[in-house]
A = this chain, B = another copy of it.
Amino acid sequence: MNTFGKMFRMTTYGKSHGAEIGVIIDGCPSGLEVSLKEIQYEIDRRKPGQSLVTTQRKEKDKVEILNGLIDGKTIGKPIELRILNEDIDLEGYKELEYKPRPGHADFTCYKKYGDWYAFDKTGGRETACRVMAGAIAKKLLKKYAIDILAYSIEIAGIRSRKSYYKDFDLTKLERYKEIIESNPVRCIDEGAARKMENAIIKAKEERDSVGGIVEVIATRIPIGLGEPNYNKLSAALYFGFGSIPAVTGIHIGLFDRIRMHGSEINDRFYLKNGEVKTKTNYCGGILGGISNGMPIVASIGFKPTPSIAKEQHTVDLEKIEETTIKIKGRHDPCIVPRAVPVVEAMMSLTLADHMLLAGYIPKYL
C-alpha cells in the first residue's frame, strides 16, 4: 500500500522509470494558501544534479498542481501534485537483469512479486512525492507558527560541530537555513561541510559511497500531540522516518542518554512567565509519547548508497549461478544531502497528521 497518514494522508504513485510520479493528498483543510513556487522550492532542494556530491542524473523535476486548489487555496478536496519524468535512463538496467544489486531491494522485490522490475516500487525517486506532499504539510504547520528544519550532522564519519545538542541557538534558525542551503552537504558547520564534501568526492572517485546522519527539529509544537501506548507521537515519527529508503537507525531526543544517569538526563521543569518549560531537552520534546511543548528533535542515520560503480559479486537469479556486476547509472555517492528535504517532509506530514488528530487544526481555516 502506498498511503501514509490517518487524517492528513498522502498516496503516492508512479515510478522512477515510468512517465511520471505524483501524489494525492487527502485531508488537508480548505482555505490554505499554497503556491506552486513553494512546492517547487522544496523539490528543487531534493532534485538530482545540483552539485558534484549528488547524482549527475539531470531532472528538471517541474511540479504541476493537477487538482485540489482554486485561486491558490485548498478547497478541502484531494490535492494532486505531479512531476513528469524526463531523463529516463534505462540503459544501465538492462544488463543488470536478474542480477540483484547487493544492498538493494532488487532481490526481495523479485522474490515477493515475481517480477524483476518490481524493484522500481522502492526507488528513491518516490521520495520526491513525499517532498511535494510535505511542502503542503509544512505550509499548514507554518500557519500555526511551527518551523521544521533538517540538516546533516555527520557524513563519512565527519561530525558537525553544530547540532541541536551542541552549540545551537534556536533564535538563529533563519540564519541556519541560509547556511544549510549555501553548502552542498546541507551542514550548519561550514568547516565540517567542506570536509564532508571532500570525503564524498573522494568516495565517488573511488567508485564507492558514504553515509551519515540527518538531524531534524520542529519548533513551537503545542503540548499534547500523540497518545500513550500505541499512538505515541514518537512511534509515529519512528514509523515515518523508518519508511524512508536507506535508513539504518532513528533517535528521538539525545541517544547518548543511554550512557548517562537519570539525574543528568531528567529534563528539569521550571516556570517561565507562568508557563512550564524544561531547562534541558534531552527527551527531544516528547514525554510518554506526548509532545511537551519543547522542540521535537530526531536524528536519522543513512547507510552509504548501495549503487556503486565498483565491481561487486552477486547471483544471477535466472541462471542460478554466481556472477559480478558493475552498476553504470549515475548515482549519489552520498544520499544524505538530498535526504534532508525528505526528512523534513516526513516530519511535516507526521506532525500535520497529529495536529489534526489532536484537534488543533479545524477542517477549514
Name A residues whose Cβ lies closer than 8 Å to a Cβ of B.
Answer: 1-4, 9, 11-15, 18-20, 22, 24, 26-27, 30-31, 66-68, 70, 75-80, 100-105, 107-109, 111-115, 117-122, 126, 154, 156-157, 203, 206-213, 223-224, 227-232, 234-239, 241-243, 245, 247-255, 257-263, 265-271, 274, 276, 278, 283, 286-292, 301-308, 310, 312-315, 317, 320-322, 359, 362-364
Which of B70, B236, B315 is close to A270, meaning CB atoms less than 8 Å apart?
Answer: B315
Q: Contact between A259 and B228 (Cβ–Cβ < 8 Å)?
A: no
Q: Contact between A242 and B248 (Cβ–Cβ < 8 Å)?
A: no
Q: Contact between A267 and B102 (Cβ–Cβ < 8 Å)?
A: yes
CA of A248 to CA of B104, assembled, Å: 28
Residue in B closest to A276 when the chains form the complex, CB atoms: B315
Q: A108-B288, A113-B363 are in contact. Are A121 and B258 (CB under 8 A)?
A: no
Q: Contact between B66 and A112 (Cβ–Cβ < 8 Å)?
A: no
Q: Contact between B67 and A209 (Cβ–Cβ < 8 Å)?
A: no
CA of A362 to CA of B261, assembled, Å: 38
Residue in B closest to A156 when the chains form the complex, CB atoms: B259
CA of A34 to CA of B283, assembled, Å: 38
Q: Contact between B20 and A262 (Cβ–Cβ < 8 Å)?
A: no
Question: What would be 22 A-B contacts, judged by CB atoms less than 8 Å apart?
Answer: A1-B229, A11-B78, A13-B80, A103-B262, A108-B291, A114-B364, A115-B364, A122-B229, A122-B289, A126-B229, A211-B258, A211-B260, A212-B258, A235-B243, A237-B242, A249-B249, A249-B258, A253-B303, A258-B301, A266-B308, A269-B313, A269-B314
Q: Shortest distance in angstroms between A94's beta carbon and chain B's nearest beta carbon?
A: 15
Q: Contact between B224 and A112 (Cβ–Cβ < 8 Å)?
A: yes
Q: Contact between B254 and A251 (Cβ–Cβ < 8 Å)?
A: no
CA of A3 to CA of B109, assembled, Å: 26
Q: Contact between A257 and B211 (Cβ–Cβ < 8 Å)?
A: yes
